[in-house]
């Protein structure tokens, strides 16, 4: 497939936003049971704003992939059968949930405002945040299933697609949370950096598993199945026309195998190796600059990873159009 950078930025930006919100809620949950120190309302308010900014930035970037942006509302019409339509519905829901979560923190409301006394500080935001967590994971599911449900693209058609979207978004979000806490709540830096390392390692295992799986795929389609001829001597010498077309532009990236292999190793290093090393050093030294470098490295690597993810999918139609006589 030919990767669209609008979709690459959509998936990576909302992944950071989702992961960062999960980090905020995790920190608040731990604080309520006194595992972590409590933070001011400003910590959660500003964090929610930043999470929403990431989510909206991803939403805006997706518009550039549309041929007719004015018809974008129609993309939600097929929600009964389309994972894309479900994503279009769930993404604004996540934005709304995070916004409400931050607003309630800003107002300082709890269940006593509703006449309910629980004796738990932040009980209302804990409940609202849990709803936000559920729709956040639902968004990961919808985004991953857009690709995992396409059976004829065998590189995508695996549960690992959804798992990788979730773990990579969580890793980038927790890494950013470590950066954020370095400025807003230094006492949480080691907590977020530690979880960022754990999630990044888990993502490395599952992403590595998907790379190994895809390297061993035996594609079901071939020249023989395409034209219904079983002879092993079939050889394609022309694609049927002299110039390029939509098929040759949109369903094949046009890059060399060397470029593909280089991109794979670049994202493996930038997404996994470099952040884990930098986060580990920052964990012991408390260096904010190393935390920033870890997030920047990981996000740049995620752009390369997402490009590789899309480009690696081999559309069966390429059997017809990738040989020029």
Quick one: 108 exposed, middle or buried, by C-beta within 10 A (0-12, 13-18, 19+)?
Answer: exposed
Looking at residue 231, what is its pLDDT?
77
Contact 34, 282 (CB under 8 A): no
What is the rounded distance in angstroms from the CA atom of residue 196 to the CA atom of residue 22? 12
Kindly give the residue spans of alpha helices, DSSP state H, lying in 149-287.
Answer: 159-184, 189-215, 223-227, 246-250, 257-268, 274-285
The single residue listed with the structure tokens 């920052």 is 282
**Which phi and psi angles does 52 have, rounded to 5°?**
-65, -40
Domain boundaries, the chain: 5-321
76: nearest Cα among 84, 68, 85, 67 = 85
Tokens linked to 59: 């939403």
For the entire predicted model, the pTM comes to 0.92
DSSP SS3 for 2: coil
What is the rounded distance in angstroms from the CA atom of residue 48 to the CA atom of residue 78? 30
Q: What is the pLDDT along the chain (325 residues), one digit of tens a residue?
A: 788 889 999 999 999 999 999 999 999 999 988 888 889 999 999 999 999 999 999 999 988 877 777 677 777 888 889 999 999 999 999 999 999 999 999 998 888 777 777 777 778 999 999 999 999 999 999 999 999 999 988 899 999 999 999 999 999 999 999 999 999 999 999 999 999 999 999 999 999 999 999 998 887 777 777 777 877 777 777 766 666 677 777 777 778 889 899 999 999 999 999 999 999 999 888 789 999 999 999 999 999 999 999 999 888 777 667 554 4
188: nearest Cα among 203, 197, 178 = 178
Task: Enter the DSSP assignment of 149.
Answer: T
DSSP SS3 for 131: helix
Looking at residue 99, what is its pLDDT?
97
What is the rounded distance in angstroms from the CA atom of residue 286 to the CA atom of residue 261? 35
Looking at residue 184, what is its pLDDT?
94
Looking at residue 325, what is its pLDDT?
40
Q: What is the CATH number of domain 5-321?
A: 1.20.1630.10
Contact 189, 286 (CB under 8 A): yes
Looking at residue 113, what is its pLDDT?
74
What is the rounded distance in angstroms from the CA atom of residue 163 to the CA atom of residue 208? 12
Give residues with Cβ within 8 angstroms of 45, minimum separation 6: 102, 105, 106
Contact 100, 92 (CB under 8 A): no
């Amino acid at each position: 497939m030919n990767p669209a950078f609008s979709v690459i930025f959509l998936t990576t930006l909302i992944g950071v936003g989702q992961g960062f919100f999960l980090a905020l809620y995790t920190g608040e949950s731990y604080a309520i049971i006194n595992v972590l120190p409590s933070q001011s309302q400003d910590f959660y308010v500003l964090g929610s704003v930043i999470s929403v900014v990431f989510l909206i930035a991803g939403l805006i970037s997706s518009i550039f992939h549309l041929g007719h942006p004015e018809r974008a509302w129609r993309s939600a019409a097929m929600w009964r059968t389309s994972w894309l339509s479900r994503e279009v519905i769930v993404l604004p829901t996540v934005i709304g949930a995070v916004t409400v979560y931050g607003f309630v923190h800003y107002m300082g409301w709890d269940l006593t405002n509703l006449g309910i006394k629980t004796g738990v500080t932040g009980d209302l935001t804990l409940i609202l945040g849990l709803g936000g967590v559920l729709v956040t994971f639902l968004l990961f599911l919808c985004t991953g299933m857009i690709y995992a449900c396409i059976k004829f693209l065998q590189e995508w058609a695996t549960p690992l697609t959804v798992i990788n979207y979730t773990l990579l978004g969580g890793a980038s979000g927790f890494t950013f949370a470590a950066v954020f806490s370095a400025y807003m709540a230094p006492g949480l830096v080691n907590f977020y950096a530690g979880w960022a390392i754990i999630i990044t390692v888990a993502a490395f295992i599952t992403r590595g598993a998907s790379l190994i799986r895809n390297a061993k795929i035996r594609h079901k389609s071939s020249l023989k199945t395409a034209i219904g001829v079983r002879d092993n001597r079939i050889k394609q010498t022309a694609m049927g026309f002299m110039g390029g077309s939509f098929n040759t532009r949109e369903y094949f990236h046009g890059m060399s195998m060397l470029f593909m292999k280089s991109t794979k190793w670049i994202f493996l290093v930038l997404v996994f190796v470099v952040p884990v090393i930098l986060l580990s050093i920052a964990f012991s030294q408390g260096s904010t600059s190393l935390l920033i470098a870890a997030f920047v490295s990981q996000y740049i690597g995620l752009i390369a990873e997402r490009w590789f993810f899309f480009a690696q999918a081999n559309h069966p139609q390429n059997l017809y159009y990738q040989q020029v006589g």
